Amino acid sequence: MINVVIDHRIRYIVERIIDQEEDLTLSEKINAAFEPVVQFMEKIFFWDPFDALGFDLEADIPFIVLWVVLAGIFFTLWMKFINVRAFGHSWYLIRGKYNKPGERGEVSHFQALTTALSATVGLGNISGVAIAIAVGGPGATFWMILAGFFGMSLKFTECTLGVKYRKIDARGNVSGGPMYYLVEGLKRKNLGGLGRVLAAVFALLVVASSMGGNMFQANQAFAQFLVIIPALERHGAVFGVFFAILVGLVIVGGIRSIGRVTGKIVPFMAGLYIGTALIIIIMNIGEIGSVFKLIVTSAFDAPAIKGGFIGVLITGFRRGAFSNEAGLGSSAIAHAPAKTDEPVNEGIVALMEPFIDTIIICTMTSLVLIFTGFHQNPEGLEGTQLTSAAFGSVFPWFPYLLVLAILLFAFSTMISWSYYGIKGFDFLLGKWFEKFPGRKAVIIRIFTILLLLCVVIGASSTLTSVITFIDMVMITLAIPNVIGLIILGPEIKRDLKRYMKRFRAGEIKRYK
């Protein structure tokens, strides 16, 4: 039966391509093939448990979004609001004040943070927020902020585990993340079989997510590029090829190369974007009270959209989860190579990601959209184009500046997600690589080319197809990851308790 369904979908895709007009460009042909695949997958991954049980809440409530939200609330309570208690200590760790000479690892706390941030701070903050506001209204901002707050505790837990169970080879190369703590951590709990299954599922999903992440970034980078050069509208594939070459030049250098690049790009691009947003906010500072009042009231009273309160809540949480990736386990891969012998302090560094990404940057984007009136989306724009129009209504030159910012955002995100995908791929074929070590470099290179091909596909596809695909594969990472976090949570709580006791006793020393 399954084979029949698959054969039917393949025939449908082929027929769609053949039926297109002869003058279709390569970009349009790629999109025609990609779109029906996404529509088929959406029915599988984004099922609504309430609807399945016969409850009509007048809004789509994907199970996976509920899973991430409830996990964030649970770990915030279980870790006794570590997102608040360790907030100040996190800044000192990021600045290297507690860096102990000779600690194992490949990158500094700051470089690990910027590598993870480069995957989260990006078009989710620009395009994702615009999508959330256009669909859910100003109230979606409130739920995005809340998603960021709860996400801080999830980040702490998964990134602590990422360092605790990392693998360091004879050359000093580090591999870590959910694939490793699911296998080793659950093995210690006499759940080795479950751990291997969850790790394999996660690795497969992170490979798919790296592909989808590259698609989304390329798609929205090209969309903004068209604002400047509209004549390229039907030539997304050409843009994608150019971008893919740039990404490939960085990721071949591994995590050290990525860390050096993101350590420079992330502060620059974030400063560029935040600085401009701050100017607009300051220009409208007299209205800040009424805008936040609108955000809060709209969060609980949103009759204008499907599902009202529930609809706007799900919209905000869905975009917030996509933006900061808390609970997905992806950031644990980036933080695993950090130079530290204290897993807990790297978890404390990581909790700043949702704060910077969602609570600060996403909120600022929302404020600009509301201040300028573009939250009502009068022109029916999509994603980055809506954000660009909002900024451009104040500064006519901003769309040109945003092109640079978006290209940098997209570039840094793609190199980080490509690294995640390569690590997941390496884990899946690890045993095979041990038997045939000479073939590893060739196979990894072929997979890297496939990742870069996804950049071309993304630049050639519609936003609806790409964002649905990336939501499906990326947020689904939370299923195997959160199961592992719940099982391993007690030991992280004990490790945190011991660390904080040592910190208060002065045993965790400052070196700068």
Taking the C-alpha atoms of residue 124 and residue 436, their distance in angstroms, rounded to an integer, is: 40
Burial 338-377, CB ≥16 within 10 A → b, else e: bbbebbbbbbbbbbbbbbbbbbbbbbbbbbbbbbbebbeb
89-131 pLDDT tens trace:
888 888 877 777 777 777 777 877 877 776 666 666 777 787 7
Which residues, 6 or more positions from 499, have their beta carbon under 8 angstroms from its beta carbon? 342, 344, 345, 508
Count Cα neighbours of 474 within 13 Å in the Cβ-side half-sphere: 30
pLDDT of residue 1: 41
277-302 pLDDT tens trace:
899 999 989 888 888 888 888 877 75
* Whether pLDDT at 58 is above 70: no
Taking the C-alpha atoms of residue 88 and residue 59, their distance in angstroms, rounded to an integer, is: 39
DSSP state of 122: S
Q: Which whole number is the average pLDDT over 52-74?
A: 75
Q: Yes or no: say if 326 and 155 are a contact pair by the CB < 8 Å rule.
A: yes
Most confidently modeled of 369-378, 388-397, 451-460, 479-488?
479-488
* Whether pLDDT at 14 is above 60: no
Burial 284-303, CB ≥16 within 10 A → b, else e: beeeeeebbebbeebbeebe
pLDDT confidence band for 47 (50 / 70 / 90) = low
* 3-class secondary-structure state, position 233: coil
Q: Which of 177-191, 200-214, 254-268, 292-306 has the lowest mean pLDDT?
A: 254-268
Q: Yes or no: say if 161 and 343 are a contact pair by the CB < 8 Å rule.
A: yes
pLDDT of residue 435: 66
Tokens read off for 452: 């870069």
SS3 sequence of 350-408: HCHHHHHHHHHHHHHHHHHHHHCCHHHCCCCCCHHHHHHHHHHCCCCCHHHHHHHHHHH
pLDDT of residue 218: 78
Backbone phi and psi for residue 174, each to the nearest 5 degrees, phi listed first: -105, 140
Phi-psi region of 371 (alpha: psi -120 to 50; beta: other; left: phi over 0): alpha
Q: Work out the angle at residue 291's Cα, subtended by the Cα atoms of residues 288 and 293, and round it to the nearest 5 degrees.
A: 110
Tokens read off for 348: 């404390």
* Whether pLDDT at 260 is above 80: no
Burial 150-182, CB ≥16 within 10 A → b, else e: bbbbbbbbbbbbbbbbbeeeeeeebbbbbbbbb
Tokens read off for 364: 């600022």
Taking the C-alpha atoms of residue 198 and residue 277, their distance in angstroms, rounded to an integer, is: 41
Tokens read off for 257: 């190369």
For the beta carbon of residue 311, count every other beta carbon within 10 angstroms.
Answer: 24
pLDDT of residue 457: 75
Structural domains in the chain, CATH included, are 46-504 (1.20.1740)
- Mean pLDDT, the chain, rounded, equals 76
pLDDT of residue 385: 74
* 3-class secondary-structure state, position 59: coil
User: What CA–CA distances, in Å, run from 225 to 222, 230, 416?
Assistant: 5, 8, 22
Q: Which whole number is the average pLDDT over 430-444?
A: 67
Instruction: Compute, in degrees rounded to 10, the torsion defined by CA atoms 366, 367, 371, 373.
Output: 10
Reported residue count of the chain is 512
Q: How far apart are the first and last CA of the chain?
A: 65
pTM beyond cutoff 0.85: no
